Amino acid sequence: MSNVKSKNIKHRAYRFSLQIINLVKDFPQKRIYRIFSDQLLRAATSIGANLIEAKSSSSKRDFIRFYEIALKSCNETIYWLCLLKDGGLVGEEKLKPSIEEAIEISKMIVQAY
């Protein structure tokens, strides 16, 4: 994978993590929102963290493993965002950009390894 593509994915994953942080910080302080925000933050921030870990991997196999984990975290993020939307907890208009971005990042990850 080219260094430019790798940097672009990592940068995009970082910006996406910030997008999710901004999304959940406005959630009401009810228990259900705390549970969702915790799970969503863990999954979304794991994407970029695993891409960074891949950079310092000691083997091609290790590199691929970190990209696979990042992809799984991205898919989990999409799951939590769709649950929020389909469960009526957050409006579709507020979640649609995050869902679309997570799908794009997952496509980039798949193409990268």
CA separation for the pair 55, 28 (Å, rounded): 37
Tens digits of residue pLDDT in 21-41 = 999 999 999 999 999 999 999
The pLDDT of residue 14 is above 90: yes
Q: Smallest Cα–Cα separation from 89: which of 19, 21, 37?
A: 37
Q: What's the pTM value of the predicted model, to 2 decimals?
A: 0.91
Rounded to 10 degrees, what is the CA torsion of 41, 47, 49, 55?
Answer: 180
How much is the pLDDT for 103? 98
Residues 3-112: name the CATH superfamily: 23S rRNA-intervening sequence (1.20.1440.60)
Tens digits of residue pLDDT in 67-77 = 999 999 999 99
Q: Where are the domains of the chain?
A: 3-112
